[in-house]
Amino acid sequence: MPARGRGSTWQMTPRAFRRTTGWATVAVAFVLAALTAQAWDTNPRQAVVTAVVDGDTIRIDDGGRRTTVRLIGVDTPELGDRQHPSAPPQPFARQASDFTRRMLTAQRVRLEFEAGDRVDRYGRMLAYVFLADGTFFNRELLRRGLARAYTRYPFRYRDEFRADEATARHEHRGLWAQAALSRAGPVIGNRLSHIYHLPGQAHYGDVAERNRVYFESEAAAREAGFEPARR
């Protein structure tokens, strides 16, 4: 039979046992919180851009580790489609990608982060990118009409990004110059998902008639609060 000496749990009252295990739980939670805070540190950091994937995605040397970075709050036209690899690049995708490559390749940049999640569902780091001269690159894409503001989720600069896109649309810069040209049909929005489809896209005709909202232009759809379809 086990000994029941002083200090053995056999001598503990239920209340004392609960108090001891409760403190242990608190201690473990504190350590986990500290580790999490360290892992998700939101302080700015310096990095060198080693490659450009497309207009809104880059790769950096992050202290000897290669990391893919997705720019927060902007969405440039897609160079390729994962579901349809043979699909051609979206209009202005190459211009956006070339601009990002020209501006960022081999440059030392400053990365800033939101206080929330720092990684998206594809494992990419989410960041704002600043050049050495202070240029806020995320906003520069919007100002030149090379990206749309991706505002489905809240973030620190959402109002500024929306204003930058509105100005580029109004002045027909970049992809908005092309959007101003006549199309083969109207822009179709889905009133349930608030996603719009452009003529020629794969799912342009898939929206149920009862859920359709028609717009004369992509700019009109954006102004109504609709987001672009990925393909």
Q: What tokens appear for 121 in the block?
A: 């569902």
Mean pLDDT of 130-146: 97
Question: How many structural domains does the chain have?
Answer: 2
Task: Give residue-wise pLDDT tens across range 140-162.
Answer: 999 999 999 998 889 999 999 99
Domain harbouring 145, CATH code: 2.40.50.90
Query: What are the residues whose beta carbons fall under 8 Å from the beta carbon of 72, sequence distance 6 or more?
Result: 114, 126, 127, 128, 138, 155
Is 70 marked active-site? Answer: yes
Mean pLDDT of 56-60: 97
> Catalytic one among 124, 139, 148, 169?
124
Residue 55 located in a structural domain = yes
Domain harbouring 187, CATH code: 3.40.10.10
Q: What local confidence, expressed as pLDDT, does residue 198 receive?
A: 86
Domain around 189: 183-231
Is 231 marked active-site? Answer: no
Cite the DSSP H helix spans in 71-174.
Answer: 93-104, 137-143, 158-170
Is 110 marked active-site? Answer: no
Residues 197 and 167 grouped into a single domain: no
> Catalytic one among 66, 70, 101, 230?
70
> Catalytic one among 4, 18, 65, 78?
78
Residue 22 located in a structural domain = no
Give dist(CA 221, CA 227) in Å, integer.
8
